[in-house]
Amino acid sequence: MKIVVLDGYTENPGDLSWDALGALGELTVYDRSSLTDENEAIERIGDAEIAFTNKTPITKKVIDACPNLKFISVLATGYNVVDYQYAKEKGIPVTNVPTYGTASVGQFAIALLLEICHHIGHHNESVHNGDWERSADFCYWDYPLIELDGKTIGIIGFGRIGQTTGKIAKALGMKVLAYDSYPNDFGRAIGEYVDLDTLLTNSDVIALHCPLFPETQGIINKDTIAKMKDGVILLNNSRGPLVVEQDLADALNCGKVAAAGVDVVSTEPIKGDNPLLTAKNCIITPHISWAPKESRQRIMDCAVENVKAYLAGAPVNVVNK
C-alpha cells in the first residue's frame, strides 16, 4: 500500500519522525508543493491509496485522475482544501486532526495580548541597543503599559480553544464574555454567554476563535468595529478572512482600535500590499499558533491513528460521513 504526503515540511521540518506512518505502508513524503498546480498533485499521488495534505488542494480533478485513491487525511483541523463532498460521492473518507492545538493556540492568543500590553520584544531590543544604559532614569517605557486585571475580554467562538483562552484570561483577573452558537456548561463555568452586540460594546479585548463559515467571514468589519469600545484590542489567531483587513487597518490608523495582534491573514503567505502591514500598532506573526513541537507531534500521532482506523475498517475523525 502506497502512502504519500503532499506537503509535509511545516508539520515536520526535521524535528519529528515519519517512521510510525512509514511502518503502515510504502511512504513518500514531499516537503512542499504548489498550491495551484493540480497536475503536480496528480503526479505525486499517482497510484497511492492514501494521501495526506496540509494546504495542497485535492480537487475533483485530482480525485478523478487518481482512481486508486481510497483515503484522504488532512494534517490540520481545517479541511476546506479537499473537495470532501465529491470525495464522499466517490466513497473516499476524508479525515482531519480535530483537537491537536487547543493548548498552544489559546496560549498564543494570550501571548499576543501580553505583547500588546507590555511590548516586551521592543523593550528588550531597546535595552540591547543601549537605550537603558544611556537613560537618565532608572526605567523607561516607549509605549503605554496595560494592566489586564479587571478588564473584559470578549471571545467570539467559545469552543475548546476559545475556552482555553478564556481560562487563561480569567486567571489574569479578566471578566470573560463569550459568543457562541452552542453554549455549554463548560463555557458557563469560565464566562458569560452574551449576544454579539453585547460582546462588541462591552469588551476591552476581543479575541476571535471561531471557524470560517460564510456567516463568519468578515465578522470584523467597519460596522462591527463601530459598535466596539474606543481603544479596544483585537486578537485573531483563528482564520484571516474573519476580518475585513482594510476596515481593521482604518480603525487602527484612526485609533478606534488601539492595537491588534494577528497570527493569520486573508492570503498566506502575506502579500506585500496587505493593509495591516502599514497599519499602526498591529503585531503580525506568520501563522505559528499551532506550531509548537508538542502540537505537531499530536498531529503526527493522530495521523497515524487515522490510517490505522481506516485499515481496520472503522475510520475515525471523518469529516464527510
* pLDDT tens track for 280-299: 999 999 999 999 999 999 99
Q: Is pLDDT of 216 > 90?
A: yes
The answer for residues whose C-beta is within 8 angstroms of residue 67's C-beta and 6 or more apart is none
Assigned architecture for domain 102-284 = 3-Layer(aba) Sandwich (3.40)
Residues of the chain with CATH 3.40.50.720: 2-100+293-311, 102-284
CB of 237 closer than 8 Å to CB of 231: no
223-272 pLDDT, tens digit each: 999 999 999 999 999 999 999 999 999 999 999 999 999 999 999 999 99
CA 297 – CA 246 distance, rounded (Å): 36
Mean per-residue pLDDT, 192-200: 98
Closest of 243, 307, 212 to residue 1, by C-alpha? 307
The whole-angstrom separation of Cα 310 and Cα 89 is 18
Of 35 and 110, the one with more pLDDT: 110
| Residue 160 annotated among the catalytic residues of the structure | no
The one-character DSSP state at 270 is P
Cell of 274: 496587505
- Report the pLDDT value the prediction gives residue 154, as an integer from 0 to 100: 99
Q: Which of 44, 119, 209, 239 is catalytic?
A: 239
Q: What is the pTM for the complete model shown?
A: 0.93
Looking at residue 70, what DSSP letter applies? -
| E strand spans, 132-256 | 152-156, 175-179, 192-193, 205-208, 232-236
Q: How far is CA 11 from CA 24, 82, 129, 299, in A?
A: 19, 18, 35, 8
The domain 2-100+293-311 having CATH identifier 3.40.50.720: the answer here is: yes
pLDDT band at 108 (very low <50, low <70, confident <90, very high): very high
Residue 78 has pLDDT above 90, yes or no: no
pLDDT for residue 90: 98
The helix (run of H) or strand (run of E) holding residue 73 is: strand 71-74
Q: Which tens digits make up the pLDDT trace of 147-163? A: 999 999 999 999 999 99
- The shares of helix, strand and coil residues in the chain, as percent rounded to the nearest 5, are 35, 15, 50
- Separation between Cα atoms, residue 255 and residue 40, nearest integer Å: 46
* Gap between the Cα atoms of 102 and 306, Å rounded: 19
Q: Which listed residue (26, 43, 147, 268) is catalytic?
A: 268
Computed over every residue of the chain, the mean pLDDT equals 97
Residue 268 catalytic?
A: yes
Contact status, residue 258 vs residue 233, Cβ threshold 8 Å: yes
CA distances from 136 to 38, 114, 122, 131, 132 (A): 62, 27, 19, 10, 8
Q: Which helix (H) or strand (E) holds 106?
A: helix 102-118
* Phi and psi torsions of 235, nearest 5°: -125, 135
Q: Is-catalytic flag, 134?
A: no
Query: Is residue 296 a contact partner of residue 16, using CB atoms and an 8 Å limit?
Result: yes
- CA 33 – CA 53 distance, rounded (Å): 10
Residue 275 has pLDDT above 90, yes or no: yes
pLDDT of 173 strictly over 90: yes
